[in-house]
Structure 1
Amino acid sequence: MSTSQQAIFQYLGLNTSLFPTGSRYAGIDTGTLTTNTGRSIAYVQRRFLPKASTLAVLQQYTVAQGDRLDNIAYSTLGDPGLFWQLCDANTAMRPSELEVQGRTLNVTLPQGTPGARNA
């Protein structure tokens, strides 16, 4: 989306994000890099991970044999695409780090969602 299109969307109060609301990148700005040849390259700006200790814990989940993070996200958060939220809450860079039988996972509200910590 061009800068002028983004300005029109913002003026009208419309969402200019390239990512859906449930995406880990929702609300993250994009940038444009112009190379020395004049080529413009769009990119997503850096997403900083939240401190897990600042997230409100809704419940805990103990991983069973054969569990996958997308299935855990579906059963606890209602959306398999929110697996990244479990990664954030449990300081994991890769979903496979959390798919260990017997591991207890924190299921939390997303960063910025009001709620008492360790609710």
Structure 2
Amino acid sequence: MSQVEPNSRYAQTPVKTYTFPDGREVNYFARRFLSQPDALAEFGRYVVHGGDRLDTVAARAFGDPELFWRLVDGNRELLPRKLVAAVGRQLRLTLPAGFPGAFGA
């Protein structure tokens, strides 16, 4: 399996190997459990503007458009596109799981 970028949400996810009965091996990611938004340390808020996209918000908030997944993890929404659908919505800007500072962390 190729190397995962350090800013990927899967960077800390273990890689497992499945061996088929014929001996072929396939590598795969173990299950990644989603973070509970309230357990993530919040460092700010972002107010959605018309025309915003998750990647452009992530670029502004985190300095990297590929970190859009942190917006998804930090806000209670099942469909990521809904995070930027309503102008004026406040999005929580959070640190990845494992960083201290959140309630109960």
- The one-letter code matched in structure 2 to 1:106 is R
Which digits, 9 at most, give the CA deviation of each residue in 1:33-74, with x for residues without a partner? 111222111101111011100111111111111100111011
Correspondent of 2:4 among 1, 19, 25: 19
Number of paired residues? Answer: 102
CA contact (8 A) 1:57 1:108 kept: yes
- The one-letter code matched in structure 2 to 1:96 is R
Structure 1 stretches lacking a partner, 5+ long: 2-16
Structure 2 stretches lacking a partner, 5+ long: none
CA RMSD of aligned residues (A): 1.7
**Counterparts of 2:50 and 2:15, CA distance in 1:** 39
76 and 37 in structure 1: CA distance in 2 versus 1, 3 angstrom threshold = same
Alignment pair present for 1:103 and 2:89: yes
For CA contacts below 8 A with separation 6 or more, give which structure has more relative contact order: 2
Name the larger-Rg structure.
Answer: 1
* TM-score, length-scaled by structure 2: 0.87
Q: Percent identity?
A: 45
